[in-house]
A and B are shown apart, each in its own frame.
Chain A
Amino acid sequence: MNGRAIQIVYGKELRDSLRDRRTILSMIVIPVVVMPLLLFGVGALMVKTVTQARQETPHVMILGGENSPKVLAALRASKSLQLVPATGDYTNQIVEKRVRAVVKLPSDFDAALARGDQAEVDIYEYQGEMKSGFAAENLNNFFRNLSDATVQERLAGRGVPVAVLKPFAIRRQNVAPPSKVTGNVLGGILPYIIIMMCLTGAMYPALDVTAGEKERGTMETILCCPVARTDLVLGKFLMVLTASLGTVLLSLLSLGATLHFAKRALANSLPPSAPHTFAAVDVGGVAGMFLMLLPVAVLFSALLLMVGLFSKSFREAQSYCGPLIMVAVVPALVGMLPGVELNASFAVVPLLNVSLVCKEMIAGSWHWLYILLIFGSTCLYAGAALAATVWLFHREEVLFRS
């Protein structure tokens, strides 16, 4: 290996790549501009939509209850419901979103309550539709309060204290520090985003220095230089790795800045429980994640170089990248799912292991044995992929595939 030759190739490839609009787009513009705008924009829009829907008084329809003026009056008086006249096609009204929810009461509802019987109330909603869900929730809360008040009234009439039905009170309290709460919330999504950025950051440079060179005819001229093929491919590989890690670093910085600004901008519109989500992120966890991603970046860079070397043209290489992205997305996505925990079997599954351990590290849990096992196994996969890339760069039938 000749360090000077590797340095010359690396320097040229880096300069060349930084002048390529596609590399700039994937390495700088997407993590620094597009990703924060998307995350912040979508997040802000979601908060705004949900808040508005919550504040809206939903249109609800009452069916039946003809002989129950008491409950009807209470429903009319409720500030969280806006009653509309009853019609026969209430199902269509809900589906067409003209009415958000419908409540069906027995005609003798008041009398049943007075007799001490159990009355039945049906609430109709559009399942999965947010505003209908809120309307049904409001109706549910109304009847739960009415139910509690009726129970209290009946117990008081019989001289039985309320504590008979509620022998103890339950309180849930968070003991985790805000950074761990944040880590737990972000730990699910952050590794997935960063693994994807690690892959996309390497993609264009890797294809450009392999399939792109073949297409332009420069591969032949570069191979005529008195430089070992191993040195040539290592110079190219180091540039792709730089692009991948640069994208990861910029993504982390931009995500940090986005969270910081989002915390300020959305402070007033968020529900009281939410600010924990935007508490300080554990910097150690993020640094740990970056270190765990080093061999992943090597793995992606080597795999993408192999794809590019094997392809005859840039377009062919791009078509192979689709399945590769899918292969990378699935384990990273599984790691994001709630309930999927790190264990010995998952610790050797490429990408899933990194996704899971990053989730733990961001949440402030450092399982050193798993960390070593995962880092070691990922280094092994990355080393094997790099060795395969170097081997492929020596194959005439691959370099001059036609």
Chain B
Amino acid sequence: MFRDRKRGQVRAVDGINFRCEPAQIYGLLGANGAGKTTTLRLLATLLKPSSGTVCIAGCDAVREPQKVRARIGFLSTGTALYGRLTAREMVEYFGRLHGVGEDLLQARIGEMFAALGMGEFAGRRCDKLSSGMKQKVSIARTLVHDPPVMIFDEPTVGLDVMTARTIVQFIRDCRQRGKTVIVSTHVMSEAEKLCDRIGIIDRGRLLVDGTLAELRAQFGLTDLEDIFVRVVEGQP
């Protein structure tokens, strides 16, 4: 809840309640301005809720924000890199900020750079990299402290098909490795392919929540887009 000069007291999100387990992908589905980013920012402790609780990997986001931050990897819209740092410097910086010891950090960087095929551009400045390379650096930056919870805010927006596929594969890999994954998106096909559970959010409220099969059964529709439209249009 915040105060706006024109609108007065505004509830950006209200009554959002969901749970995501390890090795599960939870998709937060909503139109632009529905409250997806605000919800993810609350989870990532970037915003403090005016009421309610957020619990991440057993830690309270309001009372123990730093513990929560140490347990999450946050990949926002766009690559969000420091253009004048090299790929290696970028990942090292975030590793150090997360308190990863120097030996472990170098070992992890070695592993990740090899797995993601980043060796050839590790010493190049981020502003000189292609969008695919930048995305890889972003992934490495998010994973450097090996967090149990991953949060993705519209991760494929503005990306070409190949880079978007890399990201989708990366999200699946996270689930494979037992991580708890929360993704916000407004691309129905992406949510359909990726998510184990889906929550539809509109005007700051979580309207429905369940597995794709549960949603199909509840609304008698097979296409997620049709379900989404029915849910959102059913609102007063």
Which A residues contact B (CB, under 8 angstroms)? 5, 8-9, 12, 15-16, 19-20, 216-218, 220-228, 396-397, 399-400
Contacts and interface: CB of A to CB of B under 8 A. Distances in A.
Given A8-B93, A220-B46, A221-B80, 20 more contacts: A5-B97, A8-B97, A12-B85, A12-B89, A16-B82, A16-B85, A20-B84, A217-B76, A217-B77, A218-B80, A220-B41, A220-B76, A222-B97, A224-B45, A224-B74, A225-B69, A225-B97, A396-B47, A396-B48, A400-B41
Contacts of A397: 2
B59 to A, nearest CB: 11
A226 B93 CA distance: 13
B204 interface: no
**Interface residues of A: mostly helix, strand, loop or mixed?**
helix
Contacts of B123: none
B220 to A, nearest CB: 39
A20 to B, nearest CB: 6
B96 A8 contact: yes
Given A12-B85, A221-B74, A397-B2, A226 B99 contact: yes
B33 to A, nearest CB: 11
B92 to A, nearest CB: 9
B2 A220 contact: no
A19 B46 contact: no
Contact of A221 (B48, B76, B89, B125): B76
9 contacts: A12-B89, A15-B89, A217-B79, A217-B80, A218-B80, A220-B76, A220-B80, A221-B80, A396-B2
Interface in B109-152: 125, 141
B75 to A, nearest CB: 8
A15 B92 CA distance: 13
Given A15-B89, A226-B98, A396-B47, A221 B66 contact: no
Contacts of B47: 396, 400
Contacts of B44: 224
A15 B90 CA distance: 12
A12 B76 contact: no
Q: Which of B44, B70, B79, B84 has the most CB of A within 10 A?
A: B84
Nearest to A5: B97
